[in-house]
Chains A and B, each alone.
Chain A
Amino acid sequence: MKDRTLDGIRVVELGEMVSAPYCARLMAALGAEVIKVERPEGDGARANGPFPNDEPHPEKSGLFLAMNLDKKGITLDMTTAEGARMFRKMAGESDVVVENGPAGRMERLGLGYESLREENPGLIMVSITPFGQDGPYKDFVTHDLNRWHAGGWGYLWKERGADGVPGRLVSGPGYLSSFQAAYNALTATLGALYFRDMGGGGQHIDVSEQEAMAFILDGAFPVYNGTGRIHGKDVAIPASVPSGVLPCRDGYVLISAIEHHQWEGLVKMLGEPEWSREEWADTVEGRRLNYDIINAFMMEWLEGKSVDWVVEKAIEHRIPASPVGVTAEKLHRDKHLEERGFFEDVAHPEGGMLKYPSAPFRFSETESWTRAPAPLLGQHNDEVYGEWLGLSEGDLERLRREGTI
């Protein structure tokens, strides 16, 4: 067996739902030992579906199972003095703590970074919140929809209204800001790990989902700096041509021809229509201003053709293109993903055998990811508390009775 990239790194996760759990799940995939600490009632994701046959069950949440692969799971009530002490001991002997509680929660529990580092100066702690650890919005309550809009992306995804009138806004699916923040947290943590490996100390990392999304707003701030315009407001003239989703016989296709050779490929694919010899067709700007001529021709050309045929033809002509509306079924049956081994079967004692998306990276020298199911609630209490913290069976029994674990 190959080495694992983060072998020997120990991570304690205090995570709910997606952001911190996914960050820790990626570390686990990379080979770190991740101990997930849940409150005695369990991570809130356990109450969020999907569930088999829509029957809620704390061990069968599809979201929980997918976010927590490869981890050990323990329960702990950190609001008790003993619970907080036990957490402190674990943080003292770990490399990384990942958490996504409300801003200031760790300090209120007496477990803030400054306090934890007294015993473990090399500790790296990463906190993921909707708006960061400080500032006027730090205590705002949010759902995913709100974070999507607070980060500036909510305004950008919209229907193309008739005659350039902005259409209705439409939001991203699921938990996109949390995922982006999870990768930011991972990258920052591994940067901090390098610094520590080189002889530096540990540190606290503050990840805001709003900032994670605002940071990747493409040209939004350059546009404002350069022109004072609202990015994404003017939908009258599309950014690329052909533009928008175009109907075929059996669905919709998206085609773009931005670079010069792509445009040449498109003209060739369409059989060199008359307008392609017009002077305006030579420049990106000219094509944008005459997008209606191009789109109208495209619609006629696409009529009666199948999406797959059009995408294949476009790719042959080196034009970026894609089918719209790729379903979960299509992904599960996709030949490309199958050849790359992307979906993996993992058996879970309660959830059964299910196909999970793995990780997006493959390493030539080290194992690319690991493959253990998500933990049952408190599954590793005995192992972690007994073997690591050295608690006796009597202690464990008492802690269980008192509801601490």
Chain B
Amino acid sequence: MKRLTGVKGALVGVRVADFTASWAGPHCVSLLAFMGAEVIKIESESKLDLGRYYPPFKDGVESPDRAMWFAQMHRNSLSVTLNLREREGVELAKKLVGISDIVVENFRAGVADRLGLGYKELAAVNPQVIMASLSGFGAYGPRSRWVTYGMHVSNISGLMSTVGYPESEPVSDWVEMPDPSGGVAGASAVLAALHYRLKTGKGQHIDLSEEETAIGFQPEKLMDYAMNGREAKRMGNRHPSMAPHGVYACAGDDEWVSIAVGSEEEWGRFCSAVGMEWLVQDSRFATVSARKENEDALDEIVEGWTRGQDKAEVMRVLQGSGVGAAATFTNADLYHDEHLAARGFFTWDEHPVQGRAKMPAQPWKMSGTPLSMTRPGPKMGEHNGYVLEELLGLSRGEVEGLAGGGVVY
């Protein structure tokens, strides 16, 4: 079977038909693409992926090929434009599924079936196909048909219920972690199914819920409820059994450092590191329970020391004494960080429309099959020729006809 050449990685030879949009699904397939899978994104002007019109745009000019977040997330992917509102578009998509190993979609529950792209229909074309359906709440159940975004899944999963300060409004706005968490959970499930298929020859359908992924991230809260019937409370940056445990202002505007002291030994090291050995003797701070009781006074002392100092310097000084501290890294801090540079976390991408840009190179490192970036994020329909002509065997004329008819669109 025809494959792209020059690609390396653990998943070389695996082809993914990608029907996803937004964030969770694209994140899922991008992880497969980073490991060398051939990911073919099926997209259309008739229903543009949110990422194609999500800012920032190159030079501020809004257009699908200038969307910078989209380009970053779709590196290594190929793009074919097929209008799934047209029967012929669906037929061509099914043909592509016929020569793929994996299908990933994150349509709202029921939409894939309605389009004629449900698991049963795809399995009829390709009995060995592994299809993963990623959704906010799963493929069945009363909430399955809800429209949603990651920020709402953050709420409904309870993830945000303890975020905020006790005396003020809860914080819950634009907090989308369940999308990339659901995305990577989906990728892991797909690869587990791929292992099973190699052994047995059987494909299958995977129903992945972002909500359930996020609920799984809260064992300390859920088990406390299961054991003691108790609800966790909003605590700002504090911790039930550590003090100091907070985020403290540093020199500059809106610059912070996080400090967490987890044991009496660490407390002793902290006091020496900040040159306030007398703190260890102070009865208000002698034990963790005393420190919890006098936490306001303690936080004032800690911030009195951090304020006026560079956050990176605070991190270095405390780490030098073995105290848990990390600067609050912004995008700019990470971009210029010496540690990430030493690890090769970033790479430069050269995009035909967007030019050069620095982006994360890999979410993890593999010694035997290093992750690689072989191509920039695709322009809309950039690979129509490869997919429709070379893979599916259409003639140039046929493709042109379909483009004129709003099918390849």
Contacts and interface: CB of A to CB of B under 8 A. Distances in A.
Among A131, A335, A337, the one with the most B-chain Cβ atoms within 10 Å of its Cβ is A337
Nearest to B315: A140
Interface string B337-376: 0111011010000000000011110111111110000000
A224 B168 CA distance: 31
A344 to B, nearest CB: 11
A367 to B, nearest CB: 11
Among B189, B223, B257, B326, the one with the most A-chain Cβ atoms within 10 Å of its Cβ is B223
Given A145-B260, A169-B328, A170-B165, A360 B216 contact: yes
26 contacts: A26-B188, A50-B228, A142-B260, A143-B262, A154-B328, A168-B236, A170-B163, A173-B163, A173-B232, A179-B216, A188-B366, A191-B11, A201-B368, A204-B366, A205-B366, A206-B366, A211-B345, A211-B362, A226-B60, A239-B174, A245-B169, A321-B152, A323-B155, A339-B140, A342-B209, A362-B207
A141 interface: yes
A336 B137 contact: yes
B184 A226 contact: no
Contacts of B188: 26, 183, 186-187, 190
A149 B216 contact: no
A30 B192 contact: yes
Interface in B93-141: 119, 137-141
B194 interface: yes
A66 interface: yes
Contact of A206 (B138, B331, B365): B365
Given A170-B171, A362-B207, A329 B231 contact: yes
Nearest to B223: A62
Nearest to A137: B339
A364 B224 contact: no
B388 interface: no
Given A142-B324, A183-B185, A211-B364, A62 B258 contact: no
A360 B208 contact: yes
Contacts of B358: 221, 225
A236 B163 CA distance: 21
Given A143-B324, A323-B155, A219 B334 contact: no
Contacts of A276: none
Contacts of A211: 340, 343, 345, 360, 362-364
A146 B212 contact: no
A141 B31 CA distance: 29
B359 A221 contact: yes
B69 interface: yes
B383 interface: no
Looking at chain A, what size class is its interface with the partner chain?
35 or more
Given A207-B364, A256-B152, A330-B158, A357 B219 contact: yes
Contacts of B254: 166, 233
A141 B163 contact: no
B331 A223 contact: yes
B237 A224 contact: no
A226 B59 CA distance: 7
A50 B224 contact: yes
B256 interface: yes
B83 interface: no
B404 interface: no
A326 B259 CA distance: 29
B156 to A, nearest CB: 5
A66 B223 contact: yes
Contacts of A254: 151-152, 155, 172-173
A63 interface: yes
Given A150-B329, A315-B146, A62 B224 contact: yes
Given A132-B365, A168-B236, A355-B226, A363 B330 contact: no
A172 B368 CA distance: 34
Contacts, number: 482
A245 to B, nearest CB: 5
A146 B324 contact: yes
A371 interface: no
A174 B217 contact: yes
A150 B327 contact: yes
A354 B226 CA distance: 6
Interface stretch (B50-58, B272-280, B283-291, B293-301): B50-58
A244 B144 CA distance: 25
B13 A198 contact: yes
A145 B245 contact: yes
A67 interface: yes
A216 B180 contact: yes
B149 interface: yes
A142 B266 CA distance: 11
B258 A256 contact: no
A227 B332 CA distance: 11
A226 B58 contact: yes
B46 interface: no
B215 interface: yes
What are the nearest 5 A-B pairs in CB distance? Answer: A62-B223, A203-B368, A328-B225, A190-B191, A226-B56
A246 to B, nearest CB: 10
A259 B194 contact: no
B391 interface: no
B242 interface: yes
